[in-house]
Each structure stands twice: as C-alpha cells, then as structure tokens.
Amino acid sequence: MPRRIHITGASGSGTTTLGRRVASLLAIPHHDTDDYFWKPTDPPYVDMRPASERLRLMADMFVPRPAWVLSGSLSAWGDPLISYFDLVVFITIAKELRLQRVRIREATRYGAAAVAPGGARHRDTEDFVAWAAAYDEGDTISRTRAKHEAWLATLPCPVLRLDGERPIEELAERVAMTASTE
C-alpha cells in the first residue's frame, strides 16, 4: 500500500522530529525539504537552490517510490508533488513554544555562545526568530499560517491536523494509524 506522507507546519512546530519518528515506525525513508531547498554550505541555510533543481533532486531521490515521509514546507514551490501525497499532516503549536524550540535548536546547532548577544550568529539568529514569529500573523513572508491554510484547502488527499504540544509518540502513532487506514 503506498504511503507517501507530507508533514508540514511552522518552523519549530516539530515537523522534522515527527517525520523522523513516523518514518521509523513505518520503516520507510524520511526526507526533509530543507535538504532540497538549501544548497550544502557551512554555515548551513544560506544559499537556496532554484525550485526546478529542488524538484528534480526530489524526483531523483524519492518521489516516485511508493512510501516515504517528507517533512518541512513546500507550499510556495512544491505543487508538482501534490499528486504524490497520500496524506498531509499539519502541525500547529503555540507561538511561544515554537519560538522557544527555534531558539533551542539554533543554540544546539551553532553553540550557545554563538547565538548569544555578541556572538557570531546572534544577528542571524534574531533575524530567523523574527521571521519564524511572523508566521502566525504575517502575510508577506514566505511561510505563514494563512498561506498554509490556503494551500491545505487545495489538496486532494486527506489532511490530518495535529497539536504539536502532544507527546511525539502519540502524534507518530496517530499518523501511522491514519496512513494505514487511508
């Protein structure tokens, strides 16, 4: 049975964590949109790939296969993938908790000293947190709640909405069970 699951939500909502856990539960590959959206750089996440290249890489790596989990966001550039989705999972979470997670992730990725005031990555971190904070009310940035909701409304497959504050195991089991029954 094909199981091609896309898990999306705001930055810090837990899409990658849930994606990895669901893929493990179902014993299928996990992919993340960031791995295709961004060129490999050091530091990471500074050089975007063109959308056509992202889609080509994804088509080469996993899209035609019968089972996978894709976490992240592609609502502004990934419409050619929609027909492959068997299930889309949308995670929501309180803004304050999301931003706390983003800050923890940035400190883990780059080091607490680097993201602290005066650190080499402080300004970049603050800019990223401000971008992530604009998700709920924003309308001009690349990823917003309103844009996600509009995109979700166009999907031909089932959309499962989850509360990202629930325990990851509970969420993963719910996705796995839904994917098995769809």
pLDDT at 137: 84
Quote the CA–CA distance of 89 and 137 in Å, as a whole number.
21
Interatomic CA distance for residues 32 and 17, integer angstroms:
10
Helix 168-181 vs helix 15-26: crossing angle, to nearest 10:
60
Name the nearest CA neighbour of 24 among 71, 58, 59, 61.
71
Look at residue 143 in the predicted model and tell me its pLDDT.
Answer: 80
Residue 159: pLDDT above 80? yes
Identify the band that residue 165 occupies on the pLDDT scale cut at 50, 70 and 90.
very high
pLDDT digits (tens, 9 = 90+) for 61-82: 999 999 999 999 997 899 999 9
Q: How far apart are CA 8 and CA 92, in angstroms?
A: 9
Instruction: Enter the tokens of residue 87.
Output: 């299930």
Average confidence score pLDDT of the chain? 93
Q: Which amino acid is at 88?
A: V
**Residue 180: which residues within 8 A CB-CB, separation 6 or more?**
1, 3
DSSP letter string, 118-138: TSTTHHHHHHHHHHHHTTTT-
Residue in the structure block whose two tokens are 């929501």: 92
- The pLDDT assigned to 3 comes to 92
Q: How far apart are CA 53 and CA 77, in angstroms?
A: 11
Q: What is the pLDDT of residue 97?
A: 97
E-assigned strand segments in 74-158: 87-92
pLDDT at 182 exceeding the cut of 90:
no
Q: How far is CA 41 from the centre of its chain?
A: 19
